Amino acid sequence: IQAIVHLVRTKAHPGAKILLDACQSLPHMPVDVQSLDVDFLAGSGHKMCGPTGIGFLWGKEDVLNSLPPYMGGGEMIRDVYMDNSTYADAPARFEAGTPPIAQAVGLGAAIDYLETIGMERIHDYELELGDYLRRRLEDVEGITVLGPGVGTERAALCAFVAGNVHPSDLSTFLDVEGVAIRAGHHCCQPLHRALGYSHSARASLYFYNTKEDVDRFVEVLEETLRFFGSLGNIVDGGEGGNGKDGDDEGFVPIF
């Protein structure tokens, strides 16, 4: 992350403000806003074991206080006159009305929980788990893992395609067996196009997962691929598969 921020600083206008979307980083590694030296940093509650419907925006105090409020309501003003108003200091000026109190309490508890475990421990364990997942998938016949190869440091997840089996079909069959994966664009359609696919499947892990979970996933994945292979040309050819070359039109799931 630090390298990315440094790159942006060197390329951006000297007066530019930098907003870092850290929703995917905060749950998995230590993040120090002071050392990053960004102006804003955004986080998401549900990605870090908290409730849905809440997140947060951290910002440098002087920058936040220089910004006008975007919404009017209770608790965000200092003084109100007939012809003008003054506003409270941040963060109150951006928190008009009744806040999501229950969600905020839940998010605070989730952050305390993660810090009790230790973000360094979580990060180190996920690196080990991600490496194990990548190595296990290397031995699964009929799939192509997208991204870094075996032995390269990676997040605890793997996106992959399986011949011409639609990722949605794959995820549905695995779900029946109690294994949850994601299928779709994963919020990165341009990257999929660059790789020559329109969709992919993704197995994602967190600190509560184990190597036994990975083994079970691989076992069910291999069973599912054998099933599709028994249907004829779906796995090795034919239409309706992974949309090679980014062709969504030919990407027709069984279900």
Which positions are annotated as active-site residues? Answer: 187
Give the alpha-carbon dihedral of 159, 165, 171, 177, to 10 degrees: -120
Residue 27's closest CA among 106, 102, 117?
A: 117
Could you give the CA distance from residue 55 to residue 39 in angstroms, rounded to a whole number?
17
Give the alpha-carbon dihedral of 44, 49, 50, 56, to 10 degrees: -20
The one-letter amino acid at 147:
G
The one-letter amino acid at 94:
F
> How many C-beta neighbours within 10 Å does residue 19 have?
14
The one-letter amino acid at 79:
D
**At 44, which helix (H) or strand (E)?**
strand 40-44
At 144 the three-state DSSP class reads strand
Cβ within 8 Å of residue 32, ≥6 positions away: none
Residue 48's closest CA among 136, 110, 116?
A: 110
Sheet order of strands, 144-146 included: 144-146, 157-161, 200-204, 182-184
